[in-house]
Structure 1
Amino acid sequence: MTLHTSYARLARPLAWIVLVLAAVFGAGYWWSLGRPVPLPDSPTTRIACVSYAPFRFAGETPFDPHAFVSPERIDADLKDLSTRFDCVRTYSMGQGLGAVPEIAGRYGMKVLMGVWLGRDPAANEREMQLALASAKKHAANLRGIVVGNEVLLRGELTEKALAGYIARMNAATDVPVTYADVWEFWQAHPALAKVTDYVTIHILPYWEDEPVAPAQAVRHVADVYQRMKAEFPGKAVMIGETGWPSQGRTRRQASASLVNEARYMRQFLNYAATVDMPYNVIEAFDQPWKRDLEGTVGGYWGIFDVQGRPKFAMTGPVVEEPRWAWALGAGGVLAIVFVGAGAFRRRWRGAAGWASLALAGFATGTALAAHARLLEFACRNRLEWAVGIAVGVAGACTALSLARAIASRLAAPVNTADVAPTPTERRLLGIAWTDRFTPQRFFWMFVLALYGILMVFNGRYRDFPIGLFAMPAVAFLVLALLRTREDPLKPLLEERLLAVWLVLLGGAVVVQEVGASAVAWGWLLLNVAMALPVLLAWRRARA
């Protein structure tokens, strides 16, 4: 018995295994998102202080020089926030935010008043003047003044220039003055402590250079806090920002999810209740405009969503995706669609064909639902929605066309209508393709390789669109497994190059994630699945 004959006998079982696993994985993925996850309860629903920015509705951004938030809207926000928070932290004085100290006082709240500093001296001066006036008028409502936020991290001011602004503010008011930045930048610029009344550090375990897993995140915060207290003896140290995102890219073991945000906040509040530590959490409301800067994850650090609704409770289990049953329903609908489409002009008979169509349709439906969920969180405008929907439909259509070919092979392994012992080239757009599926395969390989390059060289803020690429990748893999009786032509040179690059790019992402991210391994598997049909055909053509 030859190796080729042995493989031919295993091809059908392997194809069935892949189809079943794809359907089971799709169902299991959504089922897991819908399970209540037990978490430790928070000791309180009240939080000491929270970052407040009102730019949460569609099209709103603080980068719009004409943006203005009315006092009435700030009043409504702070009235609601006062039921959960004792204090709010702001980041700038312009665009209407100068009204926050006065309005917060109406509801018994204190304010960490932010002064935004950057490269523009004129803009910095306007911020300083507004802050000085507010500090003089509403000093009783202020817990502190934060002169500059992460301006050293952004490289927009020198330490000397920043120290000048801080010293000037400190000399003009009795309100405690500080500067806020990531904790490593305080280590790099300890002299700033001489001109501040206290040290304000940001500790965001998700964004660390070495991302911290959710289970160890609060322990990391506690260790860093104690280290910084030791490095600045005699100075009070405040945590100016800490929190966890509810959506976005997984960084190594740091998974952005609603469950993990709830886990972090509850565990942090349990820790904060045991120490004498001033702190502020980021942030009150989700901020869609931050997705322009930080990708999907930037828009989902809020304790409340953009409509002001709490994203999770402080006690009891938390469910990641309450709508999970709809995704299973989408799988059922696509299974029916695939079975119906398979009946059109079919040349095969038997239950195997129908079963394969149903499995392929269900797997495609659950993958399409995952893609739709990503679009819901990631899309920032109509163009992104249009592109996302278009590629999602294209992926489902590719899976459908391949499912018909897969069904014909599983139902009737020897079928002269679909299996050509000596295939001939087909031409499209002046290019000689090896068969009628090659243009689709080339398209998806090219798109996946292009996105893979972006992931490797600029992937910090990019999501893993696994649901989208799973649809064509799995379908092409199953079809390739079943093409044992064909004598394929050698794949195009461009396809062979893409196949090699897909494997290398997928592996590079795993290396960048130091092998700690299950999502990165899944991404590699998708790249391999997309490349295997070409690599197998290449090997067989050379044999």
Structure 2
Amino acid sequence: MAATPCAPRKAVVPALERLQTAMANDRFVTYNPTGLKIIDGNVTIASPESIRADLKVLRPHFDALITYSARDGNEHVADIAAELGFKALIIGLWTPADTEEIRNAMAMARKHPKLVVGLSLGNEIILGERGTWENMSAYVALVRSRIPEVPITITEPFAQFMDSDASDFLHSADFLLVNAHPIFEKWFATAGPVNWAEFVVKITDDLADKFCGPVLIKETGLPTGPLNSGFDAEKQAAFWRELERQMPPTRQHAFAYFAAFDAPWRVSDFNPMGGHHPEEAFWGLFTENRVPKPVIEGLPKLKN
């Protein structure tokens, strides 16, 4: 049974229309600047020059971006993306209680109203126990009061959105950004690309039964390493080719490619799942030096 149709907020209709058009027609990729690194709490800020170099590499294959932060260099992404002809940008905030991030995100959205199609107030905050659903609803209300014309959501794994505690929040979100990783499922090692993609499709369908707005899978896929854990570039490419086949994008349901670039520093960064996760270094479709992996070789370049 599909979710009951709902009417979006009047103020957000034009931007939500742009978001849904982007979901159906553009190619999203999640983006964290290669120049941005956070190791043991020490931040290396990404320069505008390195961000421009990143986005020039991405632009032939992608025309829509999802970011994770609005500071430490990310505040330049909207300007550079607009300059390079990207068509859509969903701005992520890592810490929605950070007033600098909020200011930066609102400034980008106001300066580039046709480019910015949404805001995501945090990534896996509920999973990582950095906040509660009540906290997230409060952040949404605060940001919405300041910039009501922009669609707002948060990012969580599918299980968090399916939890009954999330029901009130789902009524306040304009769209959903969802993480759905088959590699963390017990059956992953005994399955193959068809099953991995089917898993993502089923998650999207299940969420459609609970939420009537657009659902965009933000994170999924396979890393290309460590090799001794059974990951490699061929399996990564096979997954994406199968997901492309099984889940053609629509205005209601689509996916982003995750992630733009490898990030070896992520192994030492905070991980909401706890423990050691060496695969965090290898999620990229490009290496940290911007060299394309086989998955990119099988992805047709965009016409514009």
Match of residue 142 from structure 1: 116
**Residues 291 and 275 (structure 1), Cα distance of their counterparts in 2 relative to 1, 3 Å cut:** same
- Taking structure 1 as the reference length, the TM-score comes to 0.45
Distance 2:295 2:201 in 1: 24
- Structure number with higher helix proportion: 1
Aligned residue for 1:139, secondary structure, equals coil
Show structure 1 runs of 5+ residues with no match. Answer: 1-45, 317-543
Distance 1:103 1:175 in 2: 20
Q: 1:225-263: CA deviations, max 9, x gaps?
A: 11110121x222111111111112777xxx422111011
Distance 1:262 1:52 in 2: 18
Aligned residue for 1:191, secondary structure, equals helix
Match of residue 254 from structure 2: 278
- Taking structure 2 as the reference length, the TM-score comes to 0.78
1:266–1:314 contact (8 Å) kept in structure 2: no
1:218 is aligned, of 161, 173, 197, to 197
Aligned residue for 1:310, secondary structure, equals coil
Match of residue 172 from structure 2: 195
Distance 2:122 2:187 in 1: 25
- Structure number with higher strand proportion: 2
**Residues 210 and 190 (structure 1), Cα distance of their counterparts in 2 relative to 1, 3 Å cut:** farther
Give the alignment of 1:233-248 within 5 angstroms: 234-248=212-226
Match of residue 17 from structure 2: none
1:112 is aligned, of 63, 67, 90, to 90
Counterpart amino acid of residue 135 in structure 1? A
Q: 1:358-382: CA deviations, max 9, x gaps?
A: xxxxxxxxxxxxxxxxxxxxxxxxx
**Residues 162 and 62 (structure 1), Cα distance of their counterparts in 2 relative to 1, 3 Å cut:** farther
Deviation at 1:153, TM superposition (A): 0.5
1:198–1:235 contact (8 Å) kept in structure 2: yes
Counterpart amino acid of residue 222 in structure 2? W
**Identical-pair percentage:** 25
RMSD: 2.4
Counterpart amino acid of residue 114 in structure 2? A
Deviation at 1:185, TM superposition (A): 0.3
**Residues 66 and 223 (structure 1), Cα distance of their counterparts in 2 relative to 1, 3 Å cut:** closer
Bigger mean CA offset, 302-311 vs 137-146: 137-146
Distance 1:209 1:159 in 2: 27
Paired residues in the alignment total 261
Show structure 2 runs of 5+ residues with no match. Answer: 1-24, 270-275, 299-304
Match of residue 161 from structure 1: 135
Deviation at 1:169, TM superposition (A): 1.6
Aligned residue for 1:197, secondary structure, equals coil
Structure with max Cα Rg: 1
**Is 1:310 aligned to 2:281, yes or no?**
no
Distance 1:65 1:141 in 2: 31
Deviation at 1:134, TM superposition (A): 2.1
Match of residue 182 from structure 1: 157
Match of residue 49 from structure 2: 72
Deviation at 1:78, TM superposition (A): 1.0
Give the alignment of 1:52-451 within 5 angstroms: 52-55=31-34, 60-61=37-38, 64-109=41-86, 110-117=88-95, 121=97, 124-173=98-147, 174-188=149-163, 189-208=166-185, 211=188, 213-215=191-193, 216-232=195-211, 234-248=212-226, 255-273=230-248, 276=251, 277-293=253-269, 294-313=276-295
**Residues 133 and 295 (structure 1), Cα distance of their counterparts in 2 relative to 1, 3 Å cut:** same
Deviation at 1:129, TM superposition (A): 2.1
Deviation at 1:69, TM superposition (A): 1.0
Deviation at 1:142, TM superposition (A): 0.7
Distance 1:115 1:315 in 2: 31
Distance 1:171 1:243 in 2: 35
Distance 1:230 1:278 in 2: 16
Q: 1:114-172: CA deviations, max 9, x gaps?
A: 01127xx5xx2222222222222222211211111100000001111111111222232
Structure with greater contact order relative to length (CA < 8 Å, sep ≥ 6): 2
Deviation at 1:280, TM superposition (A): 1.3
